[in-house]
Structure 1
Amino acid sequence: MSATTWDATRFSKRLRASYSPRLLLSELLLKQWFEPVIPFTIMLGLFGYFAVSIHDYATFPNIQSLMRLYAEFGFVALGMAFSLISGGIDLSVGALFAVCNFATLFFLLVLGWPIAGVIAATVAVGAVLGGINGVLIGYLKARPFLTTLVTLIILRASVNLLNERYATVFATNTSDSTVWDFLGEGFVLGIPVNAAALFVTLLIGHVFLSRSRYGWHLTAIGASRKAARHAGIPVERMLFATYVLSGVLCAIGGIFYAARQSSTDSTTGVGWEFQALTAVVLGGVSLAGGKGTVWRAMIGGIIVFLLTNGLVRLGIAGYFTSAVIGIILLAAVCADVKWSKNRGKAVQKIYVNPARLPLSPAPSLRRESGTPFAQNDRLLAAEAIGLDQVEGPEDVLIDRQDRVYGSTRDGNIIRFSGPDLTRREVFAHIGGRPLGMQWDREENLIVAVAGMGVYGIRPDGQVFKVTDETNRTWYKLNDDSRLRMADDLDIGPDGRIWFSDCTTRYEMTTNSLDIIEGRPNGRLVVYDPATRKTTTVINHFHFPNGICVAHDGMSVLIGSTSLCQVFRYWIEGPNKGRLDLLIEHLPGFVDNINRASDGTYWLALVGIRTPAFDLAMRKPDFRLRMVKQVPIDEWLAPGLNHGCVLKFDETGRILESFWDPTGVNHSTLTSMREHRGYLYLGGLENNRIGRIRLPDADPDWTGYDAYWGNKRRDRH
């Protein structure tokens, strides 16, 4: 058949098929940054409501005042966040804040220390008190809830006793220090100094939590203390440091509070521990530990602060405000527990999102049809190489010494050599799932490895990485720069490696879901060794699988497994950059494509279409119910027990076919290579490499010579 141009209209249809509301929602739910979207929206909504309800609420002077009032509570909430992320809790933060507020005033007004000494001493007090919690929880393995509750009671009683004794002294003494006044009332670039300090602390906390070993270890401890200990993380020391950090943060908040208020009483910091707990849980820090960021804690803190401040300014009674905070805490805890338990299930239920995918009519396979597709028995007599010595040789390749290679599911490249190909050896262990293979000019074996990218093996068996990522698609939510499932490749005359990444949504073990889904999640990618850059050439491709550079090097043939079609992408010449439909009507699911000795091409069909499967591809709701309700081994599937190899010419015309209709010797055929008058066969589920004689083939033709000439050439 003649090539049909794959025009812009058809591409736009494929682009639209890549998106849907369910698909967008599932990708959003997988994003960590999406989790605080709801709290962030609530925060903006609260501010908007109070801006409308309260006179001058949204003015800049009032915003400055709100920032100054919030900053000290923000430090306390941050201390609570770190303790929760570690898998614990610190109920003493409110009382610790009050003690540090008292200590600041005592060092300044009673002892008369300089400001620098006051700050250092207060921070030391916070660190020591936090360290007591750390010793009890980290080293003595006390329960965080009970430990910090007791600490709360003791510290609260102590600060009340001290306040009674020194309240009069604090009220009758003042400080004439301009530094002290600046800490209480100063601004930095129009921002209150305590709010500016909080912002700097948040930046540092973010870096430590997300970019440092401390943060990684802390998150690991919160997720599973036992697993963290087995991984060699010093759990006791980390927990101790976390509670020290909580104490230091409360101390910083206490210093700014003392500078602003210059007084202390029995109500200082009362209830702040529960407000801080409400804030960080509402912001998205998990009560179970192991999850959260400083920014989420601050979003929750601002919500609680705005609600408290706004209700008070509206004249709502304090007890009502406390009740509202309590209800919010209860709701946040319930939501946190429920969402943490069911988030994975929710994503799983909506992640698979089938689309309508009408397939082109399939040609007849009946023996009496007289077409090149008619079934025959030409593969039944295939010779078995390495019988029961290979596990799923998805691709086969032959080198210049006539040795046969197979890429197997155990992560190995197996080589058979000797006059009768009975000598078996592991040429190299790559790992992952090696799939498509090809020789480069230097006789390095280049391999597409599912889950890893593209790797190379030097003639001595040394493995090296070629590439494992490509450029990210800027408009996609998911970071698709990682090569998720590179499955086939070929190499152009200029050394560029063309390969397919068949899905950006699924892994090797679940890639069949991509075909069931029927969306263009794959792409054609090229790696240029001259620049060492990897670039996505075609996005939104339906499960690209077979990749073959044409004999003249002007184009790349691309098989689409889910569309049962073959395309031609022009890489040189006047048509460069154009995608044409080469073969439209095929009876099965396309896999590898390789060159033949007479200027034509071989094509493997990994499975044969059935009328029921074709009908199901037009019924996305049916496929969705099937995936949800039917065990995977009972899914409607194409016929995978009919091995088939086709031969076609440059125009896409099918010339002949080779069948194993029984599937006994060669089911799920995925690859074939012509070499010196033989056709070698590989299959995803086979326990052998097959070989049949081709009577009319050139007995001297080899794949390596067809690409690089009959003598090894220098790179230049």
Structure 2
Amino acid sequence: MTKRWIDNAVPFLALLLVVAICGSLVPDFYAASSITDLGRQVAEFGLVVLALSIVMISGGIDLSVASVFSLSVLLSLIGVNVYDWPVPLALASVLAMGAACGAVNGYLIGFLRLRAFLTTLVTLIIFRSLYDILFLRMSTAIMAGFSDSELFFFIGEGLVFGLPVSLLIAGTIAIAWHIVLSRMRPGWRLTAVGGARRSAHNAGIKVRWTVFLAYVWSGILCSLAGFLFAARLGSTGADTGVGLEVSALTAAVLGGTSIGGGRGSVAKAIMGALLILILTNSLVNLGVNGPITSTILGAVLLIAVFIDMRWLRHRTRILAKLYVSPAYLVLPPLPDTAAPDSPYALNDRLRSVEIIGLGEIEGPEDVILDRNDNLYCGTRHGDIVRFFGPDHKKSEIFAHIGGHPLGMAFDREGNLLVCIGGMGLYQVSPDKVVTKLTDETNRSLFSIVDDSRLRLADDLDIAPDGRIYFSEATIRYEQEEWATDALESRPSGRIIVYDPRTGSTRTEVPSLVFANGICMSNDGRSLFFAESWTCTISRYWFDGPEKGKIEPLLTNLPGYPDNINRASDGNYWAALLGMRTPALDLALRMPGFRRRMARRVAPDQWIYPNVNTGCVVKFNEKGEILESLWDFGGENHPMITSMREHKGYLYLGGVSNNRIGRYKIPGADPTWVAEESYWGPRK
């Protein structure tokens, strides 16, 4: 429901309704000759609507499309009928003229920053005046001349497999533009510029060039439409193209292309063009005169604009009620945390932890230390902060990335690898250079939703051969919507692997329920990963004789596991970001109840995990809990999402905290450094 092609439902239904009504009223509506003639008109008018749609997607408007179309018709006929140019030369000249007209608009609007509406209104008048001047001088010669070019006639009147040649040409171009807009970077950048121009500029997109090229392509497509029109009719008149801009704008908006920019597609342009052509032709066949037809088109445009604006305003609210789809999930009985002999027995061992950076940081979801005892953490402001060792009193902004840094790991060369919520996997070199490694993976073969973009990459670890395994919690929601994903508890997370040797990214383990912590096992052939909402930690073998095997390890934790990291004694630490509650456990078995809650209750009143109690557990490779550390009541260090052992201390991070905790581990190795457990001592 969040995909933009869902907007096509309304114009598609409207198209079916118009076809049904007009087909019952207009004689010979379904005749082969009528459909063939409609196909040729769709080829010409559809290209104009597509041209206008491309500009509208970029956030602009082009009222000069009709004038460029008219000039193209005239130049085509002058070249072919009057001067006997070869058809390829005439076509090249027409396309060059259209590109030049578009370049004028693009330069004035894209580079000189003039208002698109007023600018294209002026160029509409100028281009139309040029048409009128040339038409008066060349009309007699055009009418007297006659082209004997079979190719020109074939383009205008020919059929291939029963389909008009012009329709095949326009269809090929439409398919190409669909690929550009939906699958290629130029199309994504065009949409980004139209959706939020300043944000696109901040993201490094060349906004001015993007806008300029949108108008150039608009001119080229309009000129091609004019060439096809000239080939079909072989003549022109003083009223050629008059009012075409209104019809094209009506078609674009009626098809679903947003006037505000950032939303549109080839399918929308085609459906809008068909709607307007069928409606206009039917009114003419029924004897409705021109002024009434224009009035009807104006009313349709007004209604379409009203619906478009109302849909944009209420889209999120409507989709939120339909999109949330809770799954049925049964958790094992809540383990006992009150019994003294329970491995999860409550205690206050974390209540007296030492505090680092209180009030200096916000949202240190993960923490990590280098070989020099420097402590790193991310903040919700988009920074990575470094606290200098050994006392961690002084700090600096080590790198500014722009998104919230989540999981972190050091590679063999000392680069800091970071998962950024909503951005992907990044690298920060020791000299503070930030590099994007990947922000997409392969698209699932049978997925309706394009799941190639990374929404919530949240933790990572590195295999001995340099491959980077990282978890993406969900493909359905952004970081700030984690509670909605918890409400759904659907298997929409995954584990992804990035290979720096080839630069390739692919999904390794799909369909996980909020995939979270990642930690390489000591054998170097498997890893541990957490699924938060199922309260489980599992082991996955990516190499060796058991490659591809997944083994559940801890299946009934008292809370929701987050980051996992190595311990100095060969075991592993895991953070529990929140505690299970009987109410939420019960609600997970009632998807209908959770769906109604999402629709009728404000999010701040939903049933939430208990995130006010911090807990860290240690486990071994047999799935045994060795000890648990609590701050019962969350008085000192409440929510805990990560922990790192370093030289006898356990450093604690929390995505909702404003501090880092440091806990002295009794009996721990005071010389153990996590980075050396991966890559060995520094040479």
Q: What SS does the aligned partner of 1:515 have?
A: helix
* Residue from 296, 321, 325 that aligns with 1:349: 321
Matching residue of 2:257: 285
Letter in 2 for 1:182: F
C-alpha change, 1:376 and 1:290, in structure 2 (3 Å) is closer
CA distance in 2, matches of 1:484, 1:201: 32
1:637 aligns with 2:612: no
1:408 aligns with 2:379: yes
Q: What SS does the aligned partner of 2:484 have?
A: helix
Q: What SS does the aligned partner of 2:641 have?
A: strand
CA distance in 1, matches of 2:95, 2:409: 64
C-alpha change, 1:249 and 1:291, in structure 2 (3 Å) is farther
* Residue from 578, 585, 591 that aligns with 2:556: 585
Contact 2:230 2:236 in 1 (8 A): no
1:688 aligns with 2:656: no
Q: What SS does the aligned partner of 1:470 have?
A: coil
Contact 2:494 2:512 in 1 (8 A): yes
Q: What SS does the aligned partner of 1:586 have?
A: coil
Shift of 1:656: 1.8
Contact 1:105 1:258 in 2 (8 A): no
CA distance in 1, matches of 2:394, 2:498: 34
C-alpha change, 1:193 and 1:144, in structure 2 (3 Å) is farther
Shift of 1:219: 9.3
Letter in 2 for 1:362: L
C-alpha change, 1:499 and 1:342, in structure 2 (3 Å) is same
1:571 aligns with 2:542: yes
Contact 1:587 1:608 in 2 (8 A): yes
Q: What do residues 618-639 of structure 1 show as CA deviations (whole Å, max 9, x unaligned)? A: 3334434444454544443222
Structure 2 unaligned residues grouped into runs of 5+: none
* Residue from 453, 456, 471 that aligns with 1:482: 453
1:442 aligns with 2:417: no
* Residue from 49, 52, 67 that aligns with 2:39: 67
C-alpha change, 1:221 and 1:273, in structure 2 (3 Å) is same
Q: What do residues 459-506 of structure 1 show as CA deviations (whole Å, max 9, x unaligned)? A: 444444443322221222232222222212222333332221111122
* Residue from 247, 269, 272 that aligns with 1:300: 272
Matching residue of 2:630: 659
1:676 aligns with 2:676: no
1:499 aligns with 2:467: no
Contact 1:354 1:623 in 2 (8 A): yes
Shift of 1:375: 0.9
C-alpha change, 1:665 and 1:77, in structure 2 (3 Å) is closer
Q: What SS does the aligned partner of 1:511 have?
A: helix
Structure 1 unaligned residues grouped into runs of 5+: 1-25
CA distance in 1, matches of 2:547, 2:572: 21
Matching residue of 1:548: 519
* Residue from 492, 495, 498 that aligns with 1:521: 492
Q: What do residues 319-351 of structure 1 show as CA deviations (whole Å, max 9, x unaligned)? A: 699498677556545443433443333223323
Q: What SS does the aligned partner of 1:36 have?
A: helix
CA distance in 1, matches of 2:657, 2:93: 73
* Residue from 218, 225, 231 that aligns with 1:256: 231
* Residue from 347, 356, 364 that aligns with 1:376: 347
C-alpha change, 1:705 and 1:181, in structure 2 (3 Å) is closer
Shift of 1:566: 1.3
Contact 1:98 1:254 in 2 (8 A): no
The count of corresponding residues between Structure 1 and Structure 2 is 668
CA distance in 1, matches of 2:196, 2:314: 16
Which structure's relative contact order is higher, taking Cα pairs within 8 Å and 6+ residues apart?
Answer: 1
Shift of 1:667: 0.9
C-alpha change, 1:405 and 1:44, in structure 2 (3 Å) is same
Matching residue of 2:146: 175
Matching residue of 2:334: 362
C-alpha change, 1:590 and 1:135, in structure 2 (3 Å) is closer
Contact 2:424 2:455 in 1 (8 A): yes
Per the normalisation by structure 2, the TM-score is 0.78
Shift of 1:668: 0.7
C-alpha change, 1:609 and 1:494, in structure 2 (3 Å) is same
Task: Judge which range, 289-298 or 495-504, deviates more.
Answer: 289-298
Contact 1:73 1:253 in 2 (8 A): no
Per the normalisation by structure 1, the TM-score is 0.75
C-alpha change, 1:90 and 1:449, in structure 2 (3 Å) is closer
Letter in 2 for 1:454: L
Letter in 1 for 2:320: Q
What's the Cα RMSD here? Answer: 5.0
C-alpha change, 1:48 and 1:671, in structure 2 (3 Å) is same
Q: What do residues 668-710 of structure 1 show as CA deviations (whole Å, max 9, x unaligned)? A: 112222233332322223333323333333344332333333x
Shift of 1:541: 0.5
Alignment of 1:392-403 (within 5 A): 392-403=363-374
C-alpha change, 1:635 and 1:285, in structure 2 (3 Å) is closer
Task: Judge which range, 238-247 or 535-544, deviates more.
Answer: 238-247
CA distance in 1, matches of 2:455, 2:534: 20
1:702 aligns with 2:673: yes
1:35 aligns with 2:10: no
Q: What SS does the aligned partner of 1:182 have?
A: helix
Letter in 2 for 1:400: R
Shift of 1:68: 3.9
Contact 1:383 1:690 in 2 (8 A): yes
Letter in 2 for 1:302: L
Matching residue of 1:537: 508
* Residue from 455, 463, 482 that aligns with 2:426: 455
Q: What do residues 264-314 of structure 1 show as CA deviations (whole Å, max 9, x unaligned)? A: 6x98778766654543333333455665455533332233434555687xx
Shift of 1:147: 6.3
Contact 2:60 2:116 in 1 (8 A): no
C-alpha change, 1:343 and 1:383, in structure 2 (3 Å) is closer
Shift of 1:644: 1.3
CA distance in 2, matches of 1:664, 1:319: 79
Q: What SS does the aligned partner of 2:458 have?
A: strand
Letter in 2 for 1:256: A
Contact 1:669 1:683 in 2 (8 A): yes
Task: Judge which range, 97-106 or 623-632, deviates more.
Answer: 97-106
Letter in 1 for 2:561: V
Matching residue of 1:615: 586
CA distance in 2, matches of 1:140, 1:448: 40
Alignment of 1:264-343 (within 5 A): 275-287=247-259, 291-293=263-265, 296-307=268-279, 309=281, 316-318=286-288, 322=293, 332-343=304-315
Letter in 2 for 1:297: A
Contact 1:449 1:487 in 2 (8 A): yes
Shift of 1:590: 0.8
Q: What do residues 125-184 of structure 1 show as CA deviations (whole Å, max 9, x unaligned)? A: 9999999999999999797699699979x99xx89x989xx99x999x563744697278
Contact 1:119 1:255 in 2 (8 A): no
Contact 1:442 1:712 in 2 (8 A): no
CA distance in 1, matches of 2:239, 2:346: 88
C-alpha change, 1:607 and 1:656, in structure 2 (3 Å) is same
CA distance in 1, matches of 2:671, 2:114: 77
C-alpha change, 1:131 and 1:243, in structure 2 (3 Å) is farther
Q: What SS does the aligned partner of 1:350 have?
A: helix
Q: What SS does the aligned partner of 1:669 have?
A: coil
Contact 2:52 2:65 in 1 (8 A): no
Q: What do residues 238-272 of structure 1 show as CA deviations (whole Å, max 9, x unaligned)? A: 9997997798567546633541xx586x9877876
